[in-house]
A and B are shown apart, each in its own frame.
Chain A
Amino acid sequence: MSILSTILLVVLIISGIIILIKNRKIATEAEEFVFSTDISWSKSLKHNLIMFFGSAAVLLLPLLSAQKPKIDDVFQAFILFLGIYYLKTLYLQEK
């Protein structure tokens, strides 16, 4: 692993744990943690565009350094796609 990736990994793990603990503290202190928002058509479209073009961009990135996309790039793009698709089912539930 290169040094940059290792640094990013450590920063992500530490900051993730800190922010999740902080969020949990805020939620348990408040009586009711409910946030209401409007879901419009444009938000749904943005979500869809990020879902498809984001994973396509992850696959395209190795081309910048003149490499063929390898099998791990496919897995990485697939994981990003699944994560964003899960977020879509979380927010935009069809009635």
Chain B
Amino acid sequence: MAHHRLDGTRIKKKKKDTSVTDLLGVSIVALIAVFFYDDKKAISKTGGSVAYIFFLILIMIAAISVVVLLMNSRKNKLKLKETGGISQNISLDWGQNFQHTLLLFVIPIIILIMPIFTGQTSAFDDFLQAILSLILIGYLKKIYWGKIF
């Protein structure tokens, strides 16, 4: 048998308990769907409330991830103190620079074009969102490369 070692002992398979998380995810989606089901409402309104739920979930994820990050950072600091090492040296080549510069321009362009695909009129918000994403990705480029262009 493939599941036995040479000395006859059984190899334990790594058990992943994905079934619980799957059940939880499906039940949450079902709960949201039941909660927002209303046949008198127009479809656009339902879409809006789904977007609102996504927005709330994203805020929750952001809050949880900040807590996890802070906990991780404390652990990392302790590890750095123990080893005395500070950082890791990496060498970057031209391809990475090209990809970062490409994303720097492509993502604001997609953000500006997006309302055309969803059939909504572009507002002043989209302009602000595009500027914000340009600033954020430019700041990341400054972190890694020391300059934006």
Chain A positions within 8 Å of B, measured between CB atoms, are: 1-2, 4-5, 8-9, 12-13, 15-16, 19-20, 23-24, 27, 33-41, 43, 45-50, 52-59, 61-62, 64-65, 67-77, 79-80, 83-84, 86-87, 90-91
Contact = CB atoms under 8 A, between A and B. Distances in A.
A61 to B, nearest CB: 5
A41 B76 contact: yes
B128 A61 contact: yes
Contacts, number: 203
Nearest to B66: A52
A15 B108 CA distance: 13
Given A65-B125, A68-B51, A75-B118, A91 B144 contact: yes
A5 B112 contact: yes
Interface residues of B, number: 74
Interface of A, secondary structure class, is helix
A30 to B, nearest CB: 9
Contacts of B132: 54, 57-58, 61
Contacts of B51: 68-71, 73-74
Contact of A52 (B61, B137, B149): B61
A73 B98 contact: no
B91 A74 contact: no
Contact of A4 (B50, B58, B114, B124): B124
Given A40-B87, A45-B69, A53-B62, A72 B127 contact: no
A41 B80 contact: yes
A1 B69 CA distance: 39
A69 B102 contact: no
Contact of B125 (A56, A62, A87): A62
A2 B127 contact: yes
B28 interface: no
A84 B52 CA distance: 23
A23 B98 contact: yes
A75 B112 contact: no
A-B CB proximity, top 3 nearest: A16-B105, A40-B87, A27-B94
Contacts of A35: 91-93, 97, 145
A13 to B, nearest CB: 7
